[in-house]
């Protein structure tokens, strides 16, 4: 009997309305994106970069471990022996459409050459530009070296 009165007088519905009315005045969680951005971890996995040593020598030694570990087969590497006898890549390409940003390449790299940066706001305007060439990867690395290095140092104790 009580149950019928309860539903007849819409008691639970009124309780629901009261709840939502309280939410109406709560502080909003929305981050207004271009003006404000969500905080990022130093482990953030965004756009790829190839790093250089401080003397300007590129780190990558064409060991192809990243190519082997890549679950999406997004990395293509061709290696050559340079004139000074060291092994280097002649081609290092990442297909960003295939990449799943798992970070395995970075983990597998013995010389910390391929890294994932914090950059996540990028786009392509031409067909084919989704394939990151070695030059473009190195360029990103050079441009953001300070940030990349700082993030690696911060994460170093946990590696």
Q: Where on the chain is the footprint of another protein (CB under 8 A)?
A: 8, 10, 13, 16-17, 19-21, 23-30, 32
CB-wise, 21 or 54, nearer to another protein? 21
130-158 core/surface letters (b: 16 or more CB in 10 A; e: else): eebebebbbebbeebbeebeebbeeeeee
Lookup result for tokens 């994932």? 116
CB-wise, 12 or 135, nearer to another protein? 12
CB-wise, 31 or 100, nearer to another protein? 31
* Side-chain half-sphere exposure of 53, counting CA atoms within 13 A: 7
In the complex, the smallest distance separating the C-beta of residue 26 from another protein, rounded to whole angstroms, is 5
In the complex, the smallest distance separating the C-beta of residue 39 from another protein, rounded to whole angstroms, is 19
In the complex, the smallest distance separating the C-beta of residue 1 from another protein, rounded to whole angstroms, is 16
């Amino acid at each position: 009997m009580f149950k019928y009165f309860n539903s007849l007088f819409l008691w639970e519905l009124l309780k629901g309305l009261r709840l939502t009315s309280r939410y109406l005045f709560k502080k909003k969680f929305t981050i207004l994106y271009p003006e404000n951005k969500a905080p990022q971890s130093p482990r953030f996995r965004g756009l790829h970069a190839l790093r250089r040593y401080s003397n300007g020598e590129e780190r990558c030694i064409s060991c192809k471990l990243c190519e082997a570990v890549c679950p999406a087969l997004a990395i293509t590497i061709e290696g050559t022996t340079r004139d000074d006898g060291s092994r280097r890549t002649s081609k290092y390409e990442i297909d960003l459409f295939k990449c799943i940003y798992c970070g395995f390449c970075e983990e597998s790299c013995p010389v910390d050459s391929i890294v994932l940066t914090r950059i996540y706001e990028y786009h392509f305007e031409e067909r084919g530009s989704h394939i990151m060439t070695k030059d473009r990867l190195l360029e990103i690395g050079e441009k953001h070296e300070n940030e990349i290095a700082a993030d690696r140092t911060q994460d170093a104790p946990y590696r």
